Structure 1
Amino acid sequence: MSEQQLIRGTMILTASIFLSKMLGLIYVFPFTAIVGHKGLALYQYGYTPYTVLLSLATLGVPLAVSKFVSKYNALGDYRTGQRLLKSGLVVMTITGFIAFLVLFFLAGPIAHQVLDPESLEGNTVADTIFTIRMVSVALLVVPVMALIRGYFQGHQSMGPTAVSQVVEQLIRIIFILLFTYLIINVFGGELGIAVGFATFGAFVGAVAGLAVLLFYWKRRWHGLQKQIDESTVDYQIPLPKMYKELFAYALPISFVGLSIPLYQTVDLITFNPAMMATGISQAVTETYYASFTQASHKLILIPVALATAMSLTIIPTVTNAYINEEKDRLQRTITQTFQIILFLTVPAATGLMVLAEPAYGALFGLEEVAVGSDVLRFYAPVAIAFSIFAVTSALLQGINKQKYAVIALLAGLAFKVSGNSLLISWFAAHGAIIATGTGYLIAIAVNLWAVHKFAEYNFTFVLKRFLLICIFTAGMAAVVAFLNYGFQQIIPVNSRWDALLILTVSVVAGIAVYLNISVRSGLAGQILGHRFDFLNKK
């Protein structure tokens, strides 16, 4: 894949992931209006263990398949990839079914760990069990869908993944909003039933996403078959040997892909008990938990969407360059990746931090804006760490050093596990954010060391670019902070519309300032100009 193809593939996946994240963010606003922060907390009680079991069910196979197929395609053997797909569909079906059974029957123990059965406020254990069991059904479909996406990505075809992600998200959101509204506002049903059906939307969306992939498969079958027929070589690798190689890629990828869910699982188990141990009621604790793990988390994942797309795209590219010993191409790919990530995520995370109050108030209402904006302001910078960890882990996977990404994650996770409750007891909800951020910084340090050592990469140029981006971001932040403060003196935030007005004007001004500085300095053209000619400095 050329550098232009890298950018094109990244932009396709970025657009789809960004759109999916935006849809996932937008639906939270009406969803919060229907179920409140109590419902958001309940939704997360079900979704966190589901995400962990999903990663275990897929075992990192989709990204590993992408790498495996890309490798053998580069060697002229298209038959091996097809054989892997056929057998992989059977494996994913079996592991998905096992994961469904595990989550379904573990719903009770999980609910009792998270909540106090004797508490008369907040969510109930019965509602949490129902929510977890409803979302567990999606495990029957999602692993198969993920495998097919990985196969297409291995062929450097990002369109099927992009379209299926958007359709999956869109159908899921329509289902969630429709059924929660009908259950609560039309039929007068209970909150627990409504949130349980909301999590069932994961299954409905997955079926829609799988249908899209099958449509693409039918359209492209002849082209894929032609490649197979014209293969110049067939290594005829036995299935046991094939899966041994695949799982050598997959297990580290699976574990690294679990990074955010694992951190959230630590919070799922320890956040509520640690907060309530300080004397905070379960109802207030669940408000903080919903703001931290759902509302604010949704917002900071928007800039992280780019890193997710980049990590999916660069694995086949880096693998191909590494196998063919194209050192210059590998170095250029790494440099380009870091520049794009930093250029977009640093200002986005900074903007969220500066505009935390109007952002949270406009998007989630003013009822819990004091709690939510406080959490968001503190949590926003962690988005940069999420992004860098995702990209550096993908780079290590591409050069067959994925074990160091696992070591990095274990080191960071060890800090999170050992320090989360203590930090919460010291700093309340901020303690959980500090534990997450510090854990990720530890992991990033290990990853950067490994990239430097095994890819023989010098970070000097990237560090200079990072400093320049920080300077430009500081200028943007100063303008945005001034506008935010000035508008709030003229228009006090007394309604959602007040917050939305201030947010809109500040965001538009911030983007204009950052782009203007970046384009005039030539930075935007140097980083993105080969894809967007108008950014090149004339």
Structure 2
Amino acid sequence: MTTLKKDSLLKGTLILALAALVARMLGMFQKIPLDYILDAEGQYAFLAANNIYLLLLVIATAGFPSAISKMVSERMETGRYEEAKRIYKASLVFGAVSGLLLSSLLYFLAPMYATDVVKKESITLAVQAIAPALILFPIIAMMRGYFQGRQMMSAGGISQIVEQFARVIIGLGLGILFLSLGYSDTVSAAAVTFGSVFGSIAAFAVMVYYARKLKKQDARLAVHSSAEARAALQPNLPYATNSSMKLKFRAIYSEILKMSIPALITSMTINLVYMFDTSFFISITEQVYTDERATEAFAALGTKAQSLAGIPPILAIALGSSIIPIVAAAFARKDQAEVNKQTSMVLKIVCLTGVPVALFLTASAYSVTGMLFASPTGYETVAMLCAGTILQITMMTSNSILYGMGKQKQTMVNTIIGLIGKIVFSTLCGYYFGVAGFIIGSTICFLIVTLLNLRLIKRDVTLHVMGKKWIPYLGAVVVSAAACWGAEYVMLNITEGIAEKLSYLLTVLVSGSILCAIYGILLLKLNIITAQDVEALPGKLRGPMRKVMRVLRAGQSG
């Protein structure tokens, strides 16, 4: 029988980062076929329900699991195994009760949310279809937290990936089936969202499998194994019970909420921004659009722009997962030089890697949108939102750095201030400029949080991100973006006579290649990327980058 073992810090981080990336990618690309099979009304219904689902997914994968993980880990390390089990039991009860309550509330309040808030009664069924998924989500979140506390990240990571595959595949299958049977687009959209219920069942089945396996293993080791064998298999597992008074559930719940709320609010920033857009787009833009035009404009925003805008921050998510334990360890041992180095390095990496992706999606928005979706309609919205993701990347990365520094509460305050800015500016600008106003509000939100976070970081950290290379770097950005846009314009004209999808594909390949080539050459020629930066890269990238730098340096000297 295989044994569940602790994951190392690096392995655990990679597992969680991979699960988050898979979930994000599947969530993004689920929307692409919807542009082909659903009309704008059906897409709006799906987006309204899906944004609620994504908000709940953040709760299930960020706030509560992190709090329970920390509580369980602390007890296990100090030999209070019975307290850890008590916390697990209390959290499962909390998850079951809150799941039933939230599911019932969402189902019965869906009509009121649709008619009074969103001003679109057609979304009711889609929102109600996702409500049953809430029954299991809180329980799954608690189980993931317990396994993380036992330093077994694989269970939560695998359950998250299985959940996403089941949700996307079954949901799309149900949507296509309902459409083929002659149901309306809004009913078919509800069928797509019902895939989330199957996703939650699949994730729960995975967690139950691992929970039963761990329970049997603990019992077997406690009874039959020697102390040495137990230590080798589970170094953090104290098998001696203690006779202290049982923790009260009330105290456990208080500790969970106190620890999880700051992380929860910060992690929900993007989802709350998108929920605001979904909920108030129709009512705020009624002076700009007719109801039909507003539905089409939001479908372009939600289905196309938000899908593509999720691509640039992917690396920031992975780096954020990796940087938290590194900065936390350096900060705890008061190694200021290491904190300065790691913080500056991660900010430089996200600038150098995230910005060109956002630039490409902005400059080549027409061809990228036309290639992936049914038509390039709404590419202006895609370009505007993708341009703003540059600030979203810096916001997410600075959040992770502050987490590592133990400043969760201050980060939460910064996030709340940014969200208030989003509400104010989206309301005002949306009233006059429609969808562009909502994007302006989102971008201002990311900017506010980024500036507040950087000000907070600089109190304890000396940053050396670009140094004196900011002006050359911005020059490289502008030149690369201009070259990309010019290449797209030329390619669209050259390929005008061939099939549209092939034209878009060729344009994307050429414009993207030109941007990457010019951007990379300028970074090296202008010494924005230095030898020290190359040495900090992973081993597989370090060798090729050394050769590229030698060639360019030789050409420069010649």
TM class, shorter-chain normalised? 0.7 to 0.9
Q: Which residue of 14, 33, 37 maps to 1:34?
A: 37
1:375 matches 2:419: no
Superposition TM-score, scaled by structure 2 size = 0.82
1:182 and 2:192 correspond? no
Aligned counterpart in structure 1 of residue 487 of structure 2, from 471, 483, 498? 483
- Sort the Cα spacing of 1:242 and 1:314 in 2 relative to 1 into closer, same or farther, 3 A: farther
Please give the alpha-carbon distance, in whole angstroms, between the structure 1 residues aligned to 2:481 and 2:90: 52
Q: CA deviation at 1:255?
A: 1.4
Is it true that 1:503 corresponds to 2:508 in the alignment? yes
Residues 482, 59 of structure 1: alpha-carbon distance in 2 compared, 3 angstrom cutoff:
closer
In structure 2, which of residues 357, 363, 367 is the aligned counterpart of residue 358 of structure 1? 367
> Normalization by structure 1: what TM-score?
0.85
- Alignment partner for residue 96 of structure 1, among 95, 99, 108? 99
3-state SS in 2 of match to 1:93: helix
* Contact kept in structure 1, 2:166 and 2:202, CA below 8 Å: yes
Q: CA deviation at 1:423?
A: 0.3
How many Å separate the matches in 2 of 1:253 and 1:238? Answer: 24
Q: Which residue of 1 aligns with 2:4?
A: none
1:246 aligns with 2:256: yes
Aligned to 1:334: 343
CA distance in 1: counterparts of 2:546 and 2:76, whole angstroms: 39
What does residue range 114-153 of structure 1 map to in structure 2 within 5 Å? 114=117, 116=119, 125=121, 127-153=122-148
Pairs within 5 Å for 1:5-24: 11-24=14-27
- Report the Cα distance in structure 2 between the residues aligned to 1:243 and 1:97, rounded to whole angstroms: 17
Could you tell me which of 194, 197, 200 is aligned with 1:206? 200
Q: For residues 350 and 432 of structure 1, what CA distance do their matches in structure 2 show?
A: 20
**How many Å separate the matches in 2 of 1:411 and 1:284?**
32
Does the CA contact (< 8 Å) of 1:276 and 1:282 recur in 2? yes
Counterpart residue identity of residue 465, structure 2? F
Q: Deviations over 1:211-256 (max 9, x none)?
A: 3344455666648973344489989793555544433221111111
Other-structure match for 2:553: none
Equivalent pair of 2:316/2:393 in contact (CA under 8 Å): yes
Query: Against the structure 1 CA distance between its residues 466 and 158, is the aligned structure 2 distance closer, same or farther, given a 3 Å change threshold?
Result: farther
Report the CA distance shift for 1:348/1:491 in structure 2 as closer, same or farther (over 3 A): same
1:274 pairs, out of 275, 278, 284, with: 284
**8 Å Cα contact 1:529/1:536 also seen in 2:** no
Structure 1 residue 432 and structure 2 residue 427: aligned? no
Q: 1:220 to 1:335 in 2, by over 3 A?
A: farther
Structure 2 residue matching 1:460: 3-state secondary structure: coil
C-alpha change, 1:325 and 1:81, in structure 2 (3 Å) is: farther
- Report the Cα distance in structure 1 between the residues aligned to 2:335 and 2:167, rounded to whole angstroms: 43
- Rounded to whole Å, the distance in 2 between the matches of 1:320 and 1:231 is 28
Instruction: Return the alpha-carbon distance in structure 1 between the equivalents of residues 153 and 471 of structure 2.
Output: 32
Deviations 1:89-137 (A, max 9, x none): 2222222222112211210111013455xxxxxxx61x31111111111
Distance 1:531 1:161 in 2: 29
- Alignment RMSD (CA, Å): 3.4
Match of 1:172 among 155, 167, 173: 167
SS in 1 for 2:461: coil
Q: Which has the larger radius of gyration?
A: 2
1:512-536 CA-partner distances (Å, limit 9, x unpaired): 5545666784466245335744355
Query: CA offsets per residue over residues 31-64 of structure 1, 9 Å max, x none?
Result: 2211133322111122234444566688921222
Q: 1:52 to 1:536 in 2, by over 3 A?
A: closer
Amino acid at match of 1:227: P
Q: How far apart are the structure 2 equivalents of 1:228 and 1:482?
A: 59
Q: 1:192 aligns with which of 175, 181, 186?
A: 186
Task: Note the alpha carbon deviations across 1:377-416, whole angstroms, 9 max, x for none.
Answer: 1111222222222232233333332221221122112122
C-alpha separation between the residues in 1 aligned to 2:368 and 2:508? 6
Structure number with greater CO (CA < 8 Å, separation at least 6) is 1
Q: Partner of 1:380: helix, strand, or coil?
A: helix
Work out the CA distance in 2 between the residues paired with 1:19 and 1:50.
16
> d(CA) in 2 for partners of 1:142 and 1:444?
31
User: Are residues 90 and 308 of structure 1, via their aligned partners in 2, closer, same or farther at CA, if it must alter by over 3 Å?
Assistant: farther
Distance in 2 of aligned mates of 1:163 and 1:315? 22
Aligned partner of 1:387 in structure 2 is: 393
Alignment CA distance shift 1:288-1:452 (3 Å)? same
- Separation in structure 1 between the aligned mates of residue 214 and residue 444 of structure 2, nearest angstrom: 46
Mark the CA change 1:450 to 1:361 in structure 2 (over 3 Å): closer, same or farther.
same
Q: How many residues align?
A: 519
CA distance in 2, matches of 1:461, 1:62: 33
Contact in 2 for aligned 1:57/1:95 (Cα 8 Å): no
CA distance in 1, matches of 2:270, 2:465: 29
Identity of aligned residues (%): 24
Match of 1:283 in 2: 292
2: CA distance, partners of 1:418 / 1:96: 32
CA distance in 2, matches of 1:510, 1:214: 48
Residues 1:348 and 2:357 are matched in the alignment: yes
Cα deviation 1:251-279 (Å, max 9, x = unaligned)? 1111112212222232223211222222x
Q: CA deviation at 1:193?
A: 1.6
- Rounded to whole Å, the distance in 2 between the matches of 1:433 and 1:405 is 23
Decide whether aligned partners of structure 1 residues 145 and 358 sit closer, same or farther in structure 2, where only a CA change above 3 A counts. same
Amino acid at match of 2:374: G
The one-letter amino acid paired with 1:417 is I
Deviation at 1:320, TM superposition (A): 4.3
More divergent stretch after superposition (90-99 vs 375-384): 90-99
Contact 1:58–1:254, Cα closer than 8 Å, also in 2: no
Distance 1:81 1:313 in 2: 26
CA distance in 2, matches of 1:462, 1:219: 50
